[in-house]
Amino acid sequence: MSQPAKTLAAGRPGAAGSVGAVETRYLDLPRPLRLDCGRELHPVRVAYETYGTLSPRRDNVILVCHALSGDAHAAGVSAAPAEAGTRDGFGAEERDGAGGKALGWWDGMIGPGKAFDTDRFFVVSTNLLGGCRGTTGPSSVDPATGRPYGPDFPVITVADMVRAQRAFLDALGIERLAAVAGGSLGGMQALEWAVSHPDQVDAIVAIASTHALHPQGVAWNAIARESILRDPAWQGGRYYGTGRAPDAGMGVGRMVGHITYLSAPALGEKFGRRLQHADDLRYTITEPEFEVESYLRHQADTFVKRFDANTYLYLSRALTYFDLARRHGGGSLARALADVEARTLLIAFSSDWLYPPSASEEIERALRAAGKPVSYELIEAPYGHDCFLLEEARQTPIIRRFLGGAG
Amino acid sequence: MSQPAKTLAAGRPGAAGSVGAVETRYLDLPRPLRLDCGRELHPVRVAYETYGTLSPRRDNVILVCHALSGDAHAAGVSAAPAEAGTRDGFGAEERDGAGGKALGWWDGMIGPGKAFDTDRFFVVSTNLLGGCRGTTGPSSVDPATGRPYGPDFPVITVADMVRAQRAFLDALGIERLAAVAGGSLGGMQALEWAVSHPDQVDAIVAIASTHALHPQGVAWNAIARESILRDPAWQGGRYYGTGRAPDAGMGVGRMVGHITYLSAPALGEKFGRRLQHADDLRYTITEPEFEVESYLRHQADTFVKRFDANTYLYLSRALTYFDLARRHGGGSLARALADVEARTLLIAFSSDWLYPPSASEEIERALRAAGKPVSYELIEAPYGHDCFLLEEARQTPIIRRFLGGAG
């Protein structure tokens, strides 16, 4: 586990390196996956990428878990042709999962000398179960019918996602994980790993995440799903091959999501109340009049081109279901965490109102009360939930230090 | 201006009286209304109610202005048959404008001995221009075609709403107003009155309002409108008489609005993460699983039965346009308020994140800097924007004191 000679200078771009060109690969799980809902899923294909080198003792594996709209392409430059999309340093959830884009969604965090240092660690990133970027999900073909599952895809949970990752790692011959890391829904997966596989995880890094989404977050997710479900083009979920898809409804859902990922002050700073046409009202109800209105439309239009509506429904449902205390502790978070053996790093952002610091603090308190090793870092930053994708420079020394790197 | 013998005991229901049975009346403006967009509107009918007695000198008139989904029925018991709807003390925006319901939307504030004391004042409430509860709006018949205006209705502004009110009061023979009062969009109208008719308004009460909606609020409104516009049943706004209406899209828009009217803690307290079926997941993506999901559906279903989608579009657009500084001050709020003569009372609620206290504080500072009489009251209350409808008991002594009552 050699350390790179250079020390990462946080905030100095170029100080750390890139993993270079990468390609998403695919692995078919050898056995059916038994799910929380009682059903079995088979076959299950997992899309994945790896960065760095697996140590001979196979003890340097970090599993990186993505958020709702992510994919396996977490770092490096995709070999796939780049789609439209830029890293503009704002509204970064947009990058999250922008499969086919040149740069991975967490490229600033994964690479030589970076937070998840590929000079030390073998970083594995999978598209999660239910996804639409290569891993089996609602848009995959149901072997029973020869057509895409659509609404016949089983309703999945975060625990099911972890089961799929466990089975995938088994197939790769990886037993233990040096760490599981992720933000948002990705952090939920990391927490679920620590609770359900305590003897197999040395450390977890849960960023801008929660042990259970608060009721307002449940509501936002419900609204986004409603918007898809109420779009006639959804067609009960059987829109594949019909030439129509619920782009209109998913676009609105994405707009809701997008605003919840950003803080009100960040939106204010970026757009203010600037008009599209220099301080001149056009008196229209159908066209964007404010810059922020035009931005929302653009975000929605871009998103629906790359994401499957049923996957949105299923993953949104899974993340609202996630509830460590209910599932593992009979309602008690402390009991749910009682068997955790992993060291835990929690990172939260002051302006994140969707996955607020209070959620991380509840986890911290419960772990601390149980005598578990836990570090909690609250980063003051203005960009809301999207900070977990934007504030790479400030997370890097924290994560490196936690993982035993140069800091 | 006799004072009632009894003193209002805030928080003691029944201490103040009801205005009793009321009926909405209608008045046709005698002349065309010239609008900001350059068009003229004619005919214009105004739906209104009055409570109390006009003094011989006509100097005791309070104009009450409603919010987005309101109507003229602000107080008392409507003579119209009651629709479904209860005052459950939560999610009260729902009551706002629930025309046909038994009780007016601000009944707790208007009546003998109440905040707007009908023993002293002659309270006038109109359905605003563009509305769908009796005042001319997009669902009214366009005399040019004999069919409802739909998208041909002119795009209106808050200043246009005030113009319609001004013309309506002229027709009633009322020149001056002792006060203009309202919450949210209603508060915008009160502010617009003070700025555009400084010599005709003695006082304004702007509650949970703003001089210009912040960019996140603009975004929420844009999302709600998008949801309507993208519903195929909207049919370019010409859905009247087709047997289809954009209920699906407006329902989602209303859900967005509803959540922005409430605070996250209030939602948490009311619903928590309780499941519909006692802690038992049903593994469904189409049906409500959490109580808050079911609540949202119910709110949407109730709302679309009583509200016109085009009115929603037009009023939402008007309230995002509203910008005192841009319109009246060349970008400067201080300049916009320079000619105000009315005494101003601003009330904000600590948990209101849609019309946050900071907005009222900006108005307070600008008025104070200009040497204008202004009172600002910040009420610590947990229910978010809906507080202006819920926290009647705590607003009452503030408003009574401001209006020179017993407090």
Closest to B223 (Cβ–Cβ): which among A151, A219, A256? A256
In this prediction, residue A11 carries a pLDDT of: 39
Report residue A294's pLDDT band, with 50, 70 and 90 as the boundaries.
very high
Residues B183 and B389 sit within 8 Å (Cβ to Cβ): yes
Whether residue B230 and residue A248 make contact (CB cut-off 8 A), yes or no, is yes
Which of the following is catalytic: A96, A328, A352, A360? A352
Whether residue B239 has pLDDT greater than 70: yes
The answer to the question of whether B254 is labelled as a binding residue is yes
Q: Which of B63, B308, B70, B95 is nearest to B164 (CA)?
A: B63
Contacts of A300 in chain B (CB under 8 A): 226
**Which residue among A225, A292, A323 sits closest to B218, beta carbon to beta carbon?**
A292
B43: preceding bond cis by omega (within 30 degrees): yes
Please say whether the beta carbons of B387 and B355 come within 8 A: no
Tell me which chain A residue has its CA closest to the CA of residue B227: A252
How buried is residue B81: exposed, middle or buried, by Cβ count under 10 Å (0-12/13-18/19+)?
A: exposed
Quickly state the pLDDT bin for A97 (edges 50, 70, 90).
very low
Does the beta carbon of B351 lie under 8 angstroms from any beta carbon of chain A? no
Chain B residues touching residue A352 (CB < 8 angstroms): none
Instruction: Look at chain A and count its residues.
Output: 407
- Is residue B279 very low, low, confident or very high in pLDDT (cuts 50, 70, 90)? low
With beta carbons less than 8 A apart as the criterion, state whether A133 and A99 touch: yes
Cα of A308 to nearest chain B Cα, Å: 15
Say whether residue B226 is in contact with chain A using an 8 A CB cutoff: yes
Residue A279: band (very low, low, confident or very high) from pLDDT cuts 50, 70, 90 = low
Pull the structure tokens for residue B91.
């999610």
Q: How far apart are CA B76 and CA B74, in angstroms?
A: 7
Query: What is the topology classification, in CATH, of domain A21-212+327-402?
Result: Rossmann fold (3.40.50)
Q: Are strands A77-78 and A21-22 parallel, antiparallel or unpaired?
A: parallel
Q: Give chain B's end-to-end CA distance (angstroms, integer).
A: 15
CA dist A135 → A161, A395, B72 (Å):
11, 29, 55
Q: Does A362 touch chain B (CB under 8 A)?
A: no
Q: How far A154 CA sits from the closest chain B CA (Å)?
A: 8
Q: Which of the four pLDDT bands, split at 50, 70 and 90, describes residue B102? A: confident
Specify burial of residue A127 (Cβ count, 10 A radius: 0-12, 13-18, 19+). Answer: buried
Interface test with A, best of B252, B322, B358, B386 (most A CBs within 10 A): B252
Summarize pLDDT for B360-394 with one digit per residue, the tens: 999 999 999 999 999 999 999 999 999 999 999 99
**Homologous superfamily, domain B21-213+323-402:** Alpha/Beta hydrolase fold, catalytic domain (3.40.50.1820)
Task: Supply the ipTM of this predicted assembly.
Answer: 0.92
Nearest CA-CA partner of B55 in B122, B148, B119: B122
Supply B83's token pair: 């629709």
Can A385 be counted among the known catalytic residues?
yes
From the list A226, A232, A290, the residue facing B252 with the nearest CB is: A226
Give yes or no for A332 touching B (CB within 8 A): no
Residue range A67-83: mean pLDDT, rounded: 83
Residue A1 has pLDDT above 90, yes or no: no
- CA A372 from chain centre, in angstroms, equals 25
B-interface mutation test, from A267, A270, A273, A311, most B Cβ less than 10 A away: A273
What pLDDT shows up at residue A280?
A: 84
H or E element that contains A403: none
Q: How far is B254 from chain A (nearest CA, A)?
A: 10
State the Cα–Cα distance between residues B386 and B390, nearest whole angstrom: 6
Q: State the count of interchain CB pairs (< 8 A) between A and B.
A: 165
- Token pair, residue B286, equals 């189409």
d(CA A115, CA A7) in angstroms, rounded, equals: 11
Q: How far is CA B123 from the centre of its chain?
A: 15
CA distance B341 to B351: 30
Describe the crossing of helices B309-321 and B215-229 by its angle, rounded to 10 degrees. Answer: 160
Using the predicted structure, report yes or no on whether residue B342 has a pLDDT greater than 60.
yes
Torsion angle, alpha carbons of A144, A147, A151, A152, to 10: 0
- Contact across the interface for B273 and A323, Cβ inside 8 Å: yes
**Would you call B367 exposed, middle or buried from its count of C-beta atoms within 10 A (0-12, 13-18, 19+)?**
buried
% of chain B with per-residue pLDDT over 90: 88
Which residues of A, range 194-223, sit inside 8 Å of B by Cβ?
212-216, 218-220, 222-223
Cis-peptide into B356, omega within 30 deg: no
- The beta-carbon neighbor of A281 closest among B286, B314, B321 is B321
